[in-house]
Chains A and B, each alone.
Chain A
Amino acid sequence: MNDQTNVKFRLNNSELWGGLIGLGLGGFVIWSGLKLKLGTINDPGSGYVLFYTGILMCVFAGSIIVSAITEGGPTLASRWENARWSKPLLIIACLTAFSFALEPLGFLLSSIPLMLLLLRLIDPVRWPLAIPIAVLVPLGMWWVLNRLLLIQLPSGLFGIG
C-alpha cells in the first residue's frame, strides 16, 4: 500500500472509522446492559450477558483503533478505488425507495418499477427485453404465491395484488 492509500493519524483512515463505530456500539450495549440490570453472579439478570459483551466489543474496537493509529490503514476513498461505486449506490437508493413504497403501493406496483430500474441501472438491459422481464417476473411470482400457494402479498392502498 502506498502513502496515498495508507494513512495513520488522518481522519480518512477507514480502519479508524470502523473501530470508532465499534466502540460506539460497544458503549451503547454496555449502557443497555446496565439499564436492564446485571443481577448477581449467582442469578444473572437480563443485562448480564449484554453488559459483558459490550465490554468485549469495546476491547476489540479499541484494539482496531490502536492498530489503525500505529500501523495505519487504507483511506476511505481507496476502498472504492477502481470500483463502479455508483452502481451499488443506485441499487441502495432503489431499495430504500422500494421499502417506502411497498406498503402504500402494494407488491405489484412497487416491484415492477424496482425491477425496471434495476434492469436499466446495473448494466443497462435493452428496453424491449427489460420491460417484459420487469412486468412478467413480478406478475408471475405474484400469481404463484397469491393464487397457487395462497400467500397474501401486500396489496397497498389501491388494493392491487
Chain B
Amino acid sequence: MDTLANVAHGFGVALTGINLLYCFIGVFIGTLVGVLPGIGPISAMSLLLPVTLSGTPESGIIMMAGIYYGSMYGGSTTSILVNIPGEAASVVTCIDGHQMAKQGRAGPALGISAFGSFIAGTFALVALMLVAPRLAGIAIAFGPAEYFSLMVLGLVVLTFLTQGSMPKALLMACIGVVLGLIGLDSITAQPRLTFGRMELIDGIGLVPVVMGLFGVAEVLLNTEQAIKRDIINAKITQLLPNKADWQASAGPVARGTLLGFLLGILPGGGAVVASFASYALEKRLSKTPERFGHGAIEGVAGPESANNAAAGGAFIPLMTLGIPPNVVMALLLGAFVIHGLQPGPLLIAQNPGLFWGIVASMYIGNVMLLILNLPMIGMWVQLLKLPYSILFPLIILFTILGVYCSSNNVFDVYVMIAFGIIGYFMRKLGYEPAPLVLAFVLGPMLENNLRKSLILSQGDLWTFVQRPISAACLALALVLLIAPLLPTLRKKRELVALDEGA
C-alpha cells in the first residue's frame, strides 16, 4: 500500500504542467540525439546540465533522465534506417534491423523496437519502484569501507568492459582519479595540483571535461571520415508488427528485459553491455541462428528491450547508494549535486517527492516516446538528411555555449577545448574516455571513503576484508583484474568489450 501511495504522490509531482514540459523536452532531445549519429546522450546531457539550474531539482532531473532513456529509443531509428548507430547501445540493432529495412520491413523493425523498448522501460520502472526503497534501507548500514569497495568494483567493471587493452583502461581510470582530486583537499583544505591558478581551487568542472572528451573529440573523430549514409528512402508503412512478428519477439523481449535490468544495476554495466549480451543470448537460444544477421526480428526485439531495461536499472545504484554505475549516471549525479542534493540511502526518505516524481515521470516519458517514435517517424527520417557539414559546426558552438553557461567562466571553455584535443588523440591511440570520466566523478568520493575508513580503523587494512559486502566487492574486482591474464577469459572479454563513448 505504501508503494501505491508513493506512486500516486509521484504522479502528482510528475503531472504538474512544468514537469510535463521538462519531461517532454527531455525525451524529445533524447530522441533527437539518439537519431543523430555523432552525438550521444552524454554530450546532450552535459550540454543541458546548466539549463537544469533554471528550474526546480525535480524538473531538471526529470529532463536529464528523459534525455537518457529517450536516446535509447531514438538510437534504434538510425540503426534500422541508416545502418549507423545513433548511439552506442544501438550498435547491435544495425545488424538485423537494417537488413529488415532493406527487405521492406522497416516498419515492423521500428515498431517492435519501440514496443519492446516500452515494455522493457515499464518493467524497469516497476522493478525500480520495488527494489530501490528496499536497497536504500539496507544501504543505510553501509560504512566508508563498503562505499570504497563498491566504487573500486564499479571502476574495475567499467575498465573490464571497455574496448581495447585493460592496462590502458586502468591507466585512464587512474588519470580520472587524479583529475578529480585537483583543487582543495576536502579534509585538510590544502590546494592540490592547482599550479597556483585560482580557477583550479574548486577543481575542474565535470561539464567541460565531458563536453571536451565526448562532444568536441567526437566531432574531430567524425570529420576524419567522409560519412556516407545509406538511408532507406521507401515510405515506411505498417509500423505495427504482425502476429508472427509478435510470436517471434515475445521471448526475446522478455529475456532482454530481465537481462538488461540486471546488467543495468551492476556498477560499470549499462545499456551497451546489455544490448550485446541480449543479442548473443538470442542467437544462442535460436533454433535457426543462421537467420541472425539477415533480418531476424529477434535480433532487434531482444537488444532494444535490453538497452531500455538497463537504462531504468542503472538508476538503482545512483538513487540508493549514490554511486553512478556509468558515465551517464555520473552526469545525473552532477545534476543532483548542482541542486544541493546528495543521492544515497537517505534520498528516498528525505525527498520522497523527488524520487517518486522522477520514477512517475519516466513512466509518462515512456508513453511520450512511444508517440514520438511511431506516428512521428517521418519527421526523424527527414532529420537524418541534415548534412554533417552544418551539424558539426553547430555542435561545436553549442558545446562552447553550454560550457560557458554552466559556470560563466571563460576558463572552462579553454578546459573543454583542451580536453577535446586530448580526447581526440586518446581515442586515436586506443584510450577510451569512459573510465576516465567515471573515475573523475568517483575519485573524490573514493579518496574520502578510503581516508575515513583508515582513520576509523586506525590504519587497519583488514577493515576492507572483514566486512562481508566490502570483501565480496573487492574479491570480484580482483577476479576481473586477473581475468584478462587467462587466455579463455581474455577472449570472452574481447567479445563483450565495448565503446561506451558514443
Residues of chain A at the chain B interface (Cβ within 8 Å): 14-15, 17-18, 22, 25-26, 29, 32, 36, 40-50, 53-54, 56-57, 60-61, 63-64, 67, 79-80, 83-85, 87-88, 91-92, 95-96, 98-99, 102-103, 107, 111, 114-115, 118-119, 122-125, 129, 133, 137-138, 141, 145, 149, 151-154
Residue of A nearest to B439 (CB): A53
Given the interface pairs A84-B223, A99-B414, the reply to whether A123 lies near B429 with Cβ below 8 Å is: no
Q: Which residues of B contact A133 (CB under 8 A)?
A: 390, 393
Residue of B nearest to A85 (CB): B224
Supplied contacts A44-B455, A92-B424, 16 more A-B pairs, CB within 8 Å: A14-B429, A22-B171, A25-B178, A26-B174, A36-B192, A44-B451, A48-B451, A50-B193, A53-B174, A53-B177, A57-B178, A60-B167, A67-B167, A87-B223, A91-B396, A151-B405
Assess whether A95 is in contact with B417, with CB atoms less than 8 Å apart: yes
Given the interface pairs A53-B177, A67-B165, the reply to whether A32 lies near B188 with Cβ below 8 Å is: no
Residue of A nearest to B394 (CB): A137
Q: Which residues of B contact A40 (CB under 8 A)?
A: 459
Residue in B220, B390, B446, B458 whose CB lies within 8 Å of A119:
B390
By the criterion of a CB under 8 Å from any partner CB, how many residues of chain B are at the interface? 59
Residue in B190, B224, B389, B396 whose CB lies within 8 Å of A83:
B224
Q: List 15 A-B contacts (CB under 8 A).
A: A32-B193, A43-B455, A46-B190, A49-B181, A49-B446, A53-B178, A57-B171, A60-B168, A80-B428, A84-B223, A85-B224, A107-B404, A118-B396, A122-B392, A129-B390
Question: Chain B 60-102, CB within 8 Å of chain A: the 1/0 string?
Answer: 0000000000000000000000000000000000000000000
Q: Which residues of B contact A111 (CB under 8 A)?
A: 397, 400
Assess whether A115 is in contact with B393, with CB atoms less than 8 Å apart: yes
Q: Which residues of B contact A80 (CB under 8 A)?
A: 224, 428
Assess whether B431 is in contact with A154, with CB atoms less than 8 Å apart: no
Residues of chain B at the chain A interface (Cβ within 8 Å): 54, 165, 167-168, 170-171, 174-175, 177-178, 181, 185, 187-188, 190, 192-193, 216, 219-221, 223-226, 387-390, 392-394, 396-397, 400-401, 404-405, 408, 410, 413-414, 417, 420-421, 424, 428-431, 446-447, 450-451, 454-455, 458-459, 461
Q: Which residues of A contact B54 (CB under 8 A)?
A: 149
Q: Which residues of A contact B410 (CB under 8 A)?
A: 102-103, 154
Assess whether B414 is in contact with A119, with CB atoms less than 8 Å apart: no
Tell me the interface secondary structure of chain B in the complex: helix
B176 to chain A, nearest CB (A): 10
B212 to chain A, nearest CB (A): 10
Q: Which residues of B contact A137 (CB under 8 A)?
A: 394, 397
Q: Which residues of A contact B185 (CB under 8 A)?
A: 46
Q: Which residues of B contact A36 (CB under 8 A)?
A: 190, 192
In order of increasing CB-CB distance, the 9 nearest A-B pairs are A118-B393, A41-B459, A123-B389, A42-B459, A88-B220, A87-B223, A83-B224, A60-B171, A46-B185
Assess whether A49 is in contact with B447, with CB atoms less than 8 Å apart: yes
Expressed in whole angstroms, the Cα–Cα distance for A108 and B115 within the complex equals 45
Expressed in whole angstroms, the Cα–Cα distance for A137 and B417 within the complex equals 20
Q: Which residues of A contact B454 (CB under 8 A)?
A: 41-44
Expressed in whole angstroms, the Cα–Cα distance for A153 and B409 within the complex equals 9
Residue of B nearest to A152 (CB): B408
Assess whether A123 is in contact with B387, with CB atoms less than 8 Å apart: yes
Expressed in whole angstroms, the Cα–Cα distance for A22 and B171 within the complex equals 7
Assess whether B223 is in contact with A122, with CB atoms less than 8 Å apart: yes
Q: Which residues of A contact B461 (CB under 8 A)?
A: 41
